Amino acid sequence: MNNVELKKILHTGENESLEFKSSFGADVIESLTAFANTHGGKVIIGVSDSSEVVGVTINPESVQNWINEVKNKTSPSLIPESEIFDSNGKQIVILSIQEYPIKPVSTKGKYLRRVTNSNHILSTSEVVNMHLQTFNTSWDYHLSNQFKIDDISFEKVQKVIDNLNHKEKKVIEDPLTFLIKNDLIRDEALTNAAYLLFKKNDSILTTIELGRFQTDIIIKDTTRTKADILTQVEQVMDFVKKHINKEVIITGDAKNIQRWQYPIEAIREIVMNMIVHRDYRSSSDSIVKVFNDKIEFYNPGRLPENISINDLLTNNYKSTPRNKLVADFFKTLGLIEKYGSGIRRIIDYCASEGLITPEFKNISDGFMVTVFAQKTEKGSEKGSEKGSEKGSEKGSEKIITLINKNPSITIKKIAELLGVSTRAIEKQLATLKEKGLIKRSGPDKGGHWIVIPKGK
């Protein structure tokens, strides 16, 4: 380092990989530990918090003694690199540490990580997650010490296989082989994911509380599900549908349009995210509260420290599923489409119906999503139609383009090409038919689409 580089560093100030300390002490070791648990970094000793060079008094053994102290007070032991630098007659010591490969590192029983320009103590669950992520795995991937293969239902597994074959996935394995092939059973033992997906009996591990609230304290209807997580998707959806409004629009076709109080695609996306990303090690339950004008979805398990609410809203983050094996299996079943885009789709679905943006927030030891029945300022019937056009006009144009290229194209294929759900495509096709822009000729299987020229 030279004085020019030091000046730049001092001007930049403390950040995710840089800390200033006027002297060596326990807080220096904590910062080095936090850097090792994040992306590495430097502690510059002899610079105050206000970026002023104050220098530090050292003798020939000082720096080596500091390094030994860091080594003895960290586990696994950290050995930082050191550099002594003279700045206008004042000595500065730079201790550097790289990201440690096996995490987390602790100092005196404390586990820390670096967030922006400060050190944060990790919770127990964050310590466990960091350790699992070191080995590119997650809790649900681990073999269960509590449950055995006899605790799951092979009939439920067979139903999943039959459903995949119905979708032309061509699964030829028997249930046991199918589970082994998908890493749900390893070494003749059950993974936590396999138990969550196919457990034979109800258990408190997956409890979801469901309530219909007239006010914050008056409950009109309540139920609870402790089923396997695949069954819970439809159970939660059925409860929500039971307690929200639905409008039936007569189109003149054999199939009318159903317009719900909230976009069902958004609700399903929230429910899917809730079940897939839940922290099943937490003693808390998932909770769904349906009010007259909103629905709250609470789930144990906060956002990772490196992802903010703003990151979610701007889609500026890398998705790391809490339950990797569960998420991968849901993707195999076609229940989720791709990682990291669910929040954006939820917002877009609500915007297309003229609803205000859902609320996302960390609360207590979990995460909550709230969708509102309230319309935006342009959410009158006319404004809602304009908002809907903004969200679906481009999609409708793309659908018509695909139909022109291939009149026999299936709904499933359109959904795959546009990266949305089949339900969303069905809704857009119904709208296009209602507007007289397309029509169907022949049966569902073997028939084809016809694009009707404008003006006819």
Domain residues of the chain, as ranges? 3-122, 140-198, 204-372, 391-451
Task: Quickly state the pLDDT bin for 105 (edges 50, 70, 90).
Answer: very high
- Which residues of 198-357 form beta strands (DSSP E)? 208-213, 219-225, 246-249, 257-260, 286-290, 294-300
pLDDT value at 381 more than 50: no
> In this predicted model, which residue has the larger pLDDT, 342 or 61?
61
The torsion angles phi and psi of 123, rounded to 5 degrees, stand at -75, 170
Q: Which CATH number fits domain 391-451: 1.10.10.10, 1.10.390.10, 2.60.40.1580, 3.40.50.1220?
A: 1.10.10.10
State the pLDDT at residue 420.
Answer: 72
Q: Quick check: 450 and 407 in contact, CB under 8 A?
A: yes
What's the per-residue H, E or C state across 95-142? EEECCCCCCCCEECCEEEEEECCEEEECCHHHHHHHHHHHCCCCHHHC
Mean pLDDT value of segment 35-55: 92
Task: Quickly state the pLDDT bin for 423 (edges 50, 70, 90).
Answer: confident
State the pLDDT at residue 150.
Answer: 95
Closest CA to 191 of 152, 154, 225, 160: 152
| CATH fold for the domain made of 3-122 | 3.30.950
| CATH fold for the domain made of 204-372 | Heat Shock Protein 90 (3.30.565)
> In this predicted model, which residue has the larger pLDDT, 53 or 419?
53
Mean pLDDT of the chain: 87
User: Which whole-number Å values give the CA distances from 120 to 16, 30, 152, 316, 359, in the listed order?
Assistant: 12, 10, 40, 22, 26
Could you check whether 204-372 and 391-451 share the same CATH topology? no
- Which residues of 238-391 form beta strands (DSSP E)? 246-249, 257-260, 286-290, 294-300, 359-363, 366-372
State the pLDDT at residue 416.
Answer: 75
Percent of the chain at pLDDT > 70 equals 91
Q: What is the pairing mode between strands 185-186 and 189-190?
A: antiparallel
Closest CA to 295 of 208, 238, 210, 218: 210
State the pLDDT at residue 5.
Answer: 85
pLDDT in tens, 278-328: 999 888 999 999 999 999 999 999 887 778 888 888 777 777 788 989 998
Task: Quickly state the pLDDT bin for 391 (edges 50, 70, 90).
Answer: very low
Task: Quickly state the pLDDT bin for 383 (edges 50, 70, 90).
Answer: very low
Residue 380 to residue 384: CA distance in whole angstroms: 6
Mean pLDDT value of segment 3-9: 85
- Segment among 43-47, 117-121, 444-448 with least mean pLDDT: 444-448
State the pLDDT at residue 159.
Answer: 94
Find where tokens 């127990």 sit. Answer: 124
State the pLDDT at residue 382.
Answer: 40
